[in-house]
Chain A
């Protein structure tokens, strides 16, 4: 037994339903053979009420409007759209055009603005990355220079030591004639101060090189860390769910207009292009 609510206009709706022209594209038809259908039984006023208090967002309203012609007609109404228009895009001057088209306008304007802002932010981040990379390269060059200098200094220092050792040996161990020995002593004594200062200078150079190198290495590390941070920040900004994933539905590769609509219906995708 069918528990049907016999409302006054029920019979009329049967007649009206036959008059509706079903859409050219495949909007679903009401299930045939099913007797207690919401479509037939619920009057327009109630549908309006349900749509009004159902707490629908703009996305939901669009999705709902593609279920069938009658709902499409009912969901297009100004009352519904002006409500979400005033809540989503507040400074709303009343105009003669329909609320839905106004909403669409504001929505698209807002979307474009956000897109531009996003692009600007991405570019800014990318330029930061370039800046960091450049600094890093400079530092690494300097590091290489200092390392070379250090190596050269070390070589000089070791040579210096060898020479000094050799000369002291020569002075102390090798037997020489007194005159030659005296003259050599003079030379060495004359050279003592410059030799010592030379040694000192070399050692200072070495110490300086080492200091610079350690400073540069630390700076490099910091810069690398900063670069890494910025790159990490950029990654989520660049991510786009629709572009970056492999198609889940096999037929996705050959996307026609029709399957695009179905996809939107299924996934409530980001872009609303059917209004």
Chain B
């Protein structure tokens, strides 16, 4: 299969509402589902000359806003896969910040997206935060769980 080698191959992700988002291939491949889709596509298109370097991946179950957030996370964490030097503490601080800044409903949808797109580390981050979320007021874990569940006390 002929493919021009470019250092930064871009993937177009199309969300539920029809909007598109362009990301680097490596970033998109953090989602195992996208990765499998791309690789399956490549295998399938073996005999066709692929001029169009931009793969378009249709994600029918994710909205644009949530997809953006997920890709933001992936972009920050893409270095881990390439074995580049990562500053653990910095990443952790960024993660915490990422979660705190996101509102509850988006977090909920992000969790679903992480599950659907199969982004392991994001799922882990969100799960851990569901129970041990440190808000600025320093509430206890179970309070946060309740809040997260939007249950009335």
Contacts and interface: CB of A to CB of B under 8 A. Distances in A.
B26 interface: no
Contact of A49 (B106, B127, B151): B127
Given A28-B146, A42-B112, A3 B105 contact: yes
A33 to B, nearest CB: 10
A30 B128 contact: no
A242 interface: no
Contact of A28 (B106, B126, B140, B152): B152
- Main secondary structure on A side of the interface with B: loop
B108 A41 contact: yes
B149 A38 contact: yes
A60 interface: yes
A73 to B, nearest CB: 14
Nearest to A56: B131
28 contacts: A5-B61, A5-B112, A5-B113, A6-B61, A7-B112, A28-B146, A28-B151, A29-B152, A31-B150, A31-B152, A36-B105, A38-B108, A38-B111, A38-B150, A41-B108, A41-B112, A50-B130, A53-B124, A53-B127, A54-B131, A55-B127, A55-B131, A60-B142, A63-B141, A63-B145, A67-B146, A67-B149, A266-B140
A34 B151 CA distance: 10
A74 interface: no
Contact of A31 (B65, B123, B140, B151): B151
A174 interface: no
Secondary structure class of chain B's binding surface, majority of residues: helix
B109 interface: yes
Given A3-B66, A60-B141, A268-B140, A50 B111 contact: yes
Given A31-B151, A41-B108, A268-B142, 18 more contacts: A3-B66, A3-B105, A5-B62, A5-B66, A30-B149, A36-B105, A36-B109, A37-B150, A39-B149, A46-B115, A49-B127, A50-B111, A50-B130, A54-B130, A54-B131, A60-B141, A67-B142, A68-B151
B86 to A, nearest CB: 21
Interface of A: 3-7, 28-31, 34, 36-39, 41-42, 46, 49-51, 53-56, 60, 63-64, 67-68, 71, 265-266, 268
Contacts of A67: 142, 145-146, 149, 151
Contacts of A31: 150-152
Contacts of B87: none
Interface residues of B, number: 33
Contacts of A50: 111, 123, 126-127, 130
Interface of B: 16, 61-63, 65-66, 105-106, 108-109, 111-113, 115, 123-124, 126-128, 130-132, 140-142, 145-146, 148-153
A34 B126 CA distance: 21
A67 B142 CA distance: 9
Contacts of B132: 55
